[in-house]
């Protein structure tokens, strides 16, 4: 698919801003996809891109995905995304004063939108960067650290995936009891580790892996079995939990899968939407990623935008279990993919918001 075709297919956005930062001269891209349900919420991605166009395409695609994530999870926000592309020939390192200046450049663009877009952490950024941007604009989320020292978005994401997985288990087996169930968690980063620990406490037998082999020892220390990364997706388990890179569920992989369900935190897990059809044909239940991994925005938004207590914000994660159940039941009832069912739920909420607009 050509870049121009990709752009034509994804531009249904309310606003796209591309601006060079006054301090650094680096490009800052902000895509506001939809604000029907509230201000657009989405992370700032600070990473390498081959070209400015590929960065714009990513911002368009990711902001649109955020609209459906927010709508499906009933978060009361819309969808947006910002991208700061590190391009060939640009700065080799983004640290020190240059990093601070770059973050303030992003904050300037965010602030200029007057609250239509709220920035949050994504690839290359975290709570520390959000606190820096708050020096310039109040339209920032994802800066909170839990009393245990865990970023609020990490805590929420792991808790949300746990709830989605339990709802999927209930749909499959009629119980949320994980005793004797096997789960392969692919990716032992912050979310993968937290999820692994939660599942082991619930009685599941968990295997895990990561591109970083140094994580093997801490994984085994919490009771997980380490498995090879290159064959992890083909593990013979009850549930596969992708918690690293997206796009790993491909047409070529589907015939080799040996799991009953897939529930994980990774974004954009399907390499193409048609994979959802292939999974359904094999009777493998895929809980859509934008439902399963919405806990980060639910929890952080609860704390930072709605001023809830941590306990109240945790209760918001129960929305994920409810939405998972609704999507899986609709998929079964209507004979459609879980992806189609989840999109329908999100579209219904967006349509209701449009109808109720003054």
Q: Which residues pair with 97 in a beta bridge?
A: none
Check if the beta carbon of residue 56 is closer than 8 Å to that of residue 8.
Answer: no
Residue 296 labeled ligand binder: no
Nearest of 234, 263, 252 to residue 338 by alpha carbon: 263
**Which residues sit opposite 182 in a β-bridge?**
205
CATH level 3 topology of 152-350: Rossmann fold (3.40.50)
Is 190 marked as a binding-site residue?
Answer: yes
Residue 188, annotated as binding a ligand: yes
How far, CA to CA in Å, does 315 sit from each of 5, 59, 195, 311? 42, 31, 17, 6
Residue labelled with tokens 């079964």: 332
Structure tokens at 207: 């295997």
CA-wise closest residue to 154 among 139, 143, 169:
143
Please, is 241 exposed, middle or buried when counting C-beta atoms within 10 Å of its C-beta (0-12, 13-18, 19+)? buried
CA–CA gap between residue 207 and residue 193 (Å, rounded)? 11
pLDDT value of residue 34: 96
Following CA atoms 68, 74, 80, 86 in sequence, which dihedral angle do they give, to the nearest 10 degrees?
-80
Task: Spell out the residues 6+ positions from residue 251 whose beta carbon is closer than 8 angstroms to its own.
Answer: 271, 272, 274, 275, 278
User: Do the domains spanning 3-66+78-133 and 152-350 agree at the CATH topology level?
Assistant: yes
**Verdict on whether the full-model pTM lies above 0.85:** yes
Domain at 3-66+78-133, CATH class: alpha beta
Give the pLDDT of residue 193: 98
Q: In tens digits, what is the pLDDT along the chain, a chain of 358 residues? A: 344 445 554 689 999 999 999 999 999 999 999 999 999 999 999 999 999 999 999 999 899 989 999 999 999 999 999 999 999 988 878 899 999 999 999 999 999 999 999 999 998 999 999 999 999 999 999 999 988 888 999 999 999 999 999 999 999 999 999 999 999 999 999 999 999 999 999 999 999 999 999 999 999 999 999 999 999 999 999 999 999 988 899 999 999 999 999 999 998 899 999 999 999 999 999 999 999 999 999 999 999 999 999 999 999 999 999 999 999 999 999 999 999 999 999 999 999 987 766 6
Hey, where are the domains in the chain?
Answer: 3-66+78-133, 152-350
250: closest CA among 231, 292, 278, 230? 278
How many angstroms separate the Cα of 123 from the Cα of each of 10, 80, 220, 238?
A: 21, 15, 27, 30
Distance CA 201, CA 194 (A): 11
Q: pLDDT at position 11, please? A: 82
Residue 1 confidence (pLDDT): 37
Annotated ligand binding at 109? The verdict is no
3-state secondary structure of 272: coil
CA 287 and chain centroid, separation: 13
Is residue 162 within 8 A of residue 85, CB to CB? The reply is: no
According to the annotation, is 192 in a ligand binding site?
Answer: yes
Nearest to 348 by CA among 327, 334, 322: 327
pLDDT at 54: 92
CA distances (Å), origin 314, targets 155, 244, 248: 9, 23, 30
Q: List, as one string, the DSSP characters of 217-244.
A: HHHHHTTPEE--GGGGGG-B-SEEEE-S
pLDDT at 356: 67
Hey, which residues are catalytic here?
Answer: 81
How many separate helices (H) and strands (E) can be counted in the chain? 13, 11
């Amino acid at each position: 698919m050509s870049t121009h075709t990709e752009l034509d297919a994804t531009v249904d956005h309310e606003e796209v801003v591309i601006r060079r930062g006054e301090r650094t001269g680096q490009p800052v891209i902000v895509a506001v996809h939809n604000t029907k349900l509230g201000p657009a919420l989405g992370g700032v991605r600070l990473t390498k891109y081959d070209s400015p166009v590929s960065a714009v395409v990513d911002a368009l695609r990711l902001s649109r995905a955020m609209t459906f994530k927010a709508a499906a999870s009933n978060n009361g926000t819309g969808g947006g995304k910002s991208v700061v592309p590190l391009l060939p020939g640009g700065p080799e390192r983004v640290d020190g004063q240059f990093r601070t200046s770059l973050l303030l450049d992003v904050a300037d663009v965010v602030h200029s939108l007057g609250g239509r877009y709220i920035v949050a952490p994504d690839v290359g950024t975290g709570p520390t960067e959000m606190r820096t941007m708050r020096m310039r604009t109040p339209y920032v989320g994802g800066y909170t650290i839990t009393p245990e020292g865990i970023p609020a978005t990490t805590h929420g994401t792991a808790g949300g995936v746990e709830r989605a997985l339990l709802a999927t288990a209930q749909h499959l087996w009629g119980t949320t009891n994980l005793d004797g169930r096997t789960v392969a968690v692919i990716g032992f980063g912050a979310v993968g580790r937290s999820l692994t620990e939660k599942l082991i406490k619930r009685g599941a037998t968990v295997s895990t892996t990561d591109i970083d082999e140094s994580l093997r020892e801490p994984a085994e220390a919490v009771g997980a079995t380490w498995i090879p990364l290159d064959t992890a997706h083909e593990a013979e388990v009850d549930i596969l939990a992708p918690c690293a890179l997206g796009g790993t569920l491909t047409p070529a992989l589907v015939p080799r899968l040996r799991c009953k369900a897939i529930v994980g935190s990774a974004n954009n897990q399907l390499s193409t939407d048609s994979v959802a059809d292939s999974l359904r044909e094999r009777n493998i239940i895929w809980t859509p990623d934008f439902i399963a991994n919405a806990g980060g925005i639910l929890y952080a938004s609860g704390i930072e935008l709605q001023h809830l207590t941590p306990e109240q914000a945790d209760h918001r994660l129960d929305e994920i279990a409810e939405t998972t159940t609704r999507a899986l039941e609709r998929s079964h009832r209507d004979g459609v993919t879980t992806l189609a069912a989840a999109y329908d739920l999100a579209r219904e909420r967006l349509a209701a918001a449009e109808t109720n607009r003054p």
